[in-house]
Amino acid sequence: MMRLFAKSEQGAAMVEMTIVAPLLFALTLGFVDFGYALYQWNGATKAVQVGARLASISDPVVSKTTLANAAPSDVPGAPVPADAYLFICQYTGNTGACKDKNGTSTNFDTNASNAFSRIFRGDTAVTNDDACPALTGTQRPGMCHFFPGLLRTNIVITYSATGLGFQTRLNGPVPTITVELQNRTFQFFFLSGLMGFGNINMPSMLSTVTGEDLKTSAPS
């Protein structure tokens, strides 16, 4: 009897499946999770591209007067030197501010908040939060529509001098605008829940364009 039991192969397939199934499921769900990570990467890339485009044709987040006075004006018509000015605008919590190259920080006024809001949420209603309202009609999307879950604190908008424009130009200097995403992680669901796989920090990504008219009415 024992000899027959030792030679019996009944149930072998079930045992093998029990051993292989966890690995198979982990691989399958891993592919799903990493596919979603690629989707997040593409969404973030598109978001910074859209944000840079909106920033280039919209009112600047930094005050127009501040930006215009940042460039030298001692030699009218002369090129604006590179690195003549730099403004870094971002939110910390619910407070937005622009910092110049000397480290002086100026909190957002209403115009700055509205300008940042337009870059963040497009042509939808202006609100002082991280909400991303649904688009209606012909409203243009903002960054949040391409990257769900995006927060204002993840966005850094930089206006810098790179040698474009000339001193005492009527509409002010021509800044180079950079929109950057930072402090985001790739979100994992299956791997995180089943295997304790931690979220991975997403590399900072950015898009840089040349400022155009810097006014809301500029054509798209």
**Beta-sheet pairing, 205-210 with 105-107:** unpaired
Name which residue leads in pLDDT, 140 or 216.
Answer: 140
Rounded to whole angstroms, how far apart are CA atoms 44 and 191? 21
Percent of the chain clearing pLDDT 70 (strictly above) = 86
Q: What's the confidence (pLDDT) of residue 217?
A: 41
Q: What separation, in Å, do the N-terminal and C-terminal C-alpha atoms of the chain show?
A: 85
Top-confidence range, 16-20, 36-40, 45-49, 161-165: 45-49
Cβ atoms 210, 56 nearer than 8 A: yes
Cβ atoms 169, 175 nearer than 8 A: no
What would the two tokens of residue 183 be? 């402090």
Decide if pLDDT at 42 tops 90. Answer: yes
Top-confidence range, 63-77, 142-156, 157-171, 188-202: 142-156
Q: Tell me which residue of 22, 40, 6, 27 sits closest to 187, measured CA to CA.
A: 40
Q: Tell me which residue of 139, 119, 117, 118 sits closest to 128, measured CA to CA.
A: 117
Strand order across the 105-107 sheet: 105-107, 95-100, 86-92, 155-160, 176-181, 205-210
Cβ atoms 76, 167 nearer than 8 A: yes
Q: Tell me which residue of 181, 196, 179 sits closest to 40, measured CA to CA.
A: 181
pTM to 2 decimal places: 0.82
Helix (H) or strand (E) holding 144: helix 143-146
**What's the rounded mean pLDDT across residues 185-206?**
75
